[in-house]
Amino acid sequence: MPTSAGPKLVYDFVEGNKDMKDLLGGKGANLAEMTNLGLPVPPGFIISTDACRHYLENGTVPDGLAAEVSEHLKRLEEAMGLDLGAAEDPLLVSVRSGAKFSMPGMMETVLNIGLSDASVAGLAKKAGSDRFAWDSYRRLIQMFGKTVLGIEGEKFEHAIDAAKTAKGTKNDLDLDAQDLKALVATYKQLVREETGRDFPQDPREQMDMAVNAVFDSWNAPRAILYRRQERIPSDLGTAVNVVAMVFGNLGLDSGTGVAFTRDPGSGQQGVYGDYLQNAQGEDVVAGIRNTVPLQELEKIDAKSYGELMGIMETLENHYRDLCDIEFTIERGKLWMLQTRVGKRTAGAAFRIATQLVDQGLIDIDEALRRVTGAQLAQLMFPRFDSGASATMITKAISASPGAAVGRAVFDSATAVEWAAKGEDVILVRRETNPDDLHGMIAARGILTSRGGKTSHAAVVARGMGKTCVCGAEELEVDVRARKFTAKGVTISEGDVISIDGTSGSVYEGNVPVSASPVVEYFEGNIEPSKADELVRAVHRIMFRADERRRLKVRANADNGPDSARAVRFGAQGIGLTRTEHMFLGERRQVVERLILADTDTDREAALAELEPLQRGDFVEIFEAMDGLPVTIRLLDPPLHEFLPDLTELSVQVALAADKATEQDRKLLDAVRRLHEQNPMLGLRGVRLGLVIPGLYAMQVRAIAHAAAERVKAGGDPKPEIMIPLVGAVQELEAAREETEKVLKEVAEETGVHVETPIGTMIEVPRAALTAGQIAQAAQFFSFGTNDLTQMGWGFSRDDVEGSFFTKYIEAGIFGVSPFETIDADGIGRLVKIAVEEGRQTSPSLKIGVCGEHGGDPDSVHFFHHAGLDYVSCSPFRVPVARLEAGRAVALDEAGGSDSR
Is 675 tagged catalytic?
no
Stated as kind and residue range, the H or E segment containing 585 is none
Residues in the chain: 900
Contacts of 316 (CB under 8 A, 6+ apart): 261, 262, 322, 323
Q: Strand order in 476-478's β-sheet?
A: 476-478, 483-486, 489-492
Asked if residues 454 and 284 have their Cβ atoms less than 8 Å apart, the reply is yes
Cα gap 870→874, rounded to integer Å: 14
Is 539 tagged catalytic?
no
Cα gap 406→516, rounded to integer Å: 20
Cα gap 611→705, rounded to integer Å: 10
Work out the burial of residue 681: count CB atoms within 10 Å of its CB; fewer than 13 is exposed, 13-18 middle, 19 or more buried: middle
Asked if residues 44 and 16 have their Cβ atoms less than 8 Å apart, the reply is no
Contacts of 299 (CB under 8 A, 6+ apart): none
> What is the DSSP code string of 478-507?
ETTTTEEEETTEEEETT-EEEEETTT-EEE
Cα gap 886→883, rounded to integer Å: 5
Three-state DSSP class for residue 176: coil
One-letter-per-residue 3-state SS of 28-72: HHHHHHHHHCCCCCCCEEEECHHHHHHHHHHCCCCCCHHHHHHHH
Name the nearest CA neighbour of 553 among 866, 872, 890: 872
Beta strands in 304-429 (DSSP E): 323-330, 333-341, 383-384, 391-395, 397-400, 403-409, 425-429
Cα gap 263→305, rounded to integer Å: 18
β-pairing, 629-633 vs 574-578, is parallel
Q: Supply the angle between the helices 221-230 and 456-464 in degrees, to the nearest 10.
A: 40
Question: Which member of 850, 853, 861, 873 is catalytic?
Answer: 850
For the chain, the first-to-last Cα distance in angstroms comes to 30
Cα gap 790→787, rounded to integer Å: 5
Report the b/e string of 29-56 with b at 16+ CB within 10 A.
bbbbbbbebebebbbbbbbbbbbbbbbb
Cα gap 498→212, rounded to integer Å: 43
Name the nearest CA neighbour of 96 among 242, 215, 221, 223: 242
Which residues is 497 bridged to in the sheet? 406, 508
Cα gap 305→283, rounded to integer Å: 20
Question: Which member of 438, 456, 539, 864 is catalytic?
Answer: 456
The catalytic site residues sit at 456, 850
